[in-house]
Every structure is written in structure tokens, then in C-alpha cells.
Structure 1
Amino acid sequence: MAGVLVVLGALAAAIYLAVQSTTAEPSVDTRSYQKGYHAFGDAWLPAGDEDREVDEARCAELWGSFSSEELAGVAKADWVAGCADYVEGKESRFE
């Protein structure tokens, strides 16, 4: 009987962790995101009508135009997310 309770407890814990990992928002490196968000120097951009994938692809291309010194310690995925949010006219997640 005790073995069944241990197995049920472990199963419940595994289900809880699986639900938490799928519903939790992924962590974003604030510094990297903000560098991407301000990649255009806060210039005004008209809101685009492209989908998110296109905006992220363009931002990924823009990433390559910066020097490695400017991007030292910056997470590319978070930088691209910040850049794409700016291109889409969204408010920054951190300001």
C-alpha cells in the first residue's frame, strides 16, 4: 500500500511540474531584451502588418549588423524578441 502511495505522489508531482512548465512564461534576459528593443535608437517606425515570424527574421538579420563588442553577453533570442516587439509597436515588457 505504501508503494502505491509513493507512486501516486510521484505521479502527482510530475503532472504538477509538467503543467507549470507549459503555463509559465519563459524567462527573458532583461538587458538583452532592452538592447533589442532600443536597437533602432527609439526612432519612430510605422506599425507593420507582417506576422511575428517575419519581424523576428528581420530583427535576426539586423543582429548581424552590430559588432560583437556591442553584443557581448547579450542573448540573441531575447534581443530579437525585444526588437520584434518594438517593430510591432508593442510596449516594452520592462519599462
Structure 2
Amino acid sequence: MAAETIGRCRCPLCSSDRARLSLAKSKLSVLTCNACNFQGFSRSDRSDEKLRALLIAEPIEPPRDDPPAPPAPVAAAPQPAPAPRTPMSWGVLGHVI
């Protein structure tokens, strides 16, 4: 079962802004940075507040009323005509079977 992601934050160790803040089973936050392999766990409500303060505000997109347009169909290239079949022969003898 994957942990519920809260958002992105800045890693306190390597300053990468792609660290992930998620919730553990205890509902306390966990900071995971793939850039430096750092994991930070909050063990109390106070440390949980400190980790959540590191969150970076994500830009919020306005909701769209219209559904996205379907992609345009891709035209397939025409296939070459198959080569005409020649009757089978014995090769050197040239007799048709």
C-alpha cells in the first residue's frame, strides 16, 4: 500500500525542491528525497508541524468546463502492393510444377 502524498517540499539535507512529503500509517508526515536518499520521520505533533511547514505551494489550475479534445487520428502510410507470385519450378530445369 502506497503512502498518501501530501505534496512536495525542499529537502533540508541537499536543498532539492523535489522531496516528497507523505503520511505514514500513524498519520504523521514523512519526508523522502530521491536526490540524496534522505528520509525524515516526524515522531510528535511538533515535528509534524515543522515538516508540513516545508511544503511548497503547488500552482492550482482552474477547473475546465469542456472535456479535452480527442487526439487527431494518425493517417497510416499506404502499404506497397504485394509482388506477383511466380509459379514454382525446379530452378535449373525450369519446369513448372
Higher relative helix content: 1
Shared fold (TM-score, shorter chain, > 0.5): no
Higher relative strand content: 2
So what's the TM-score if we normalise by structure 2? 0.22
So what's the TM-score if we normalise by structure 1? 0.22
Relative contact order, higher structure (CA 8 A, sep 6+): 1
